A = this chain, B = another copy of it.
Amino acid sequence: MSKSLPLLAPVSECCSSLTAEPLTDDQSDRLAPVFKALGDPVRLRLVSLIASHEGGEACVCDLNDAFDLSQPTISHHLKVLHEAGLLDRSKRGVWVHYRVRAEMLGDLAALLGSAR
């Protein structure tokens, strides 16, 4: 039985280098869903829309208008990004605001940047 990390443990607690030694099965199983979440054009654009929005956060209502997709579809993509640990979610009245988790992106950047 392995000491399991919390579901959304920072990437840095999981693995910090691609080159020092190969990822274990566990590490790649934990890491892959995060990249998979980024591996969709709509979700990538959502992340960039939120990141570039003033205050670093955006309301779902703003995001819906940026796509030619149904509201449930956008909601679905936001859920995927949130569950991957890439977006924080905060409810303010009827509105829901999403914010990019810079720590997570930073960890991913450090991981990818570790290759010579």
Chain A residues within CB distance 8 Å of chain B:
18-23, 25, 28-29, 31-45, 47-49, 51-52, 56, 66, 100, 102, 105-106, 108-113, 115-116
Question: Chain copies in the assembly?
Answer: 2
Residues from chain B with a CB closer than 8 A to the CB of A28 are 41-42, 44-45, 48
Given contacts A18-B48, A51-B19, contact A35 B29 (CB under 8 A): no
Residue of B nearest to A29 (CB): B41
CA distance A56 to B41 in the complex (A): 30
In the assembled complex, 24 residue pairs joining A and B whose CB atoms fall closer than 8 Å, in A order, are A18-B47, A18-B51, A19-B48, A19-B51, A20-B52, A22-B49, A22-B52, A23-B44, A23-B45, A28-B45, A31-B44, A34-B39, A35-B38, A36-B36, A100-B115, A102-B115, A105-B112, A105-B113, A105-B115, A106-B113, A106-B115, A109-B111, A112-B112, A113-B113
Residues from chain B with a CB closer than 8 A to the CB of A108 are 109, 112
Q: Is the interface of A mostly helix, strand, loop or mixed?
A: helix
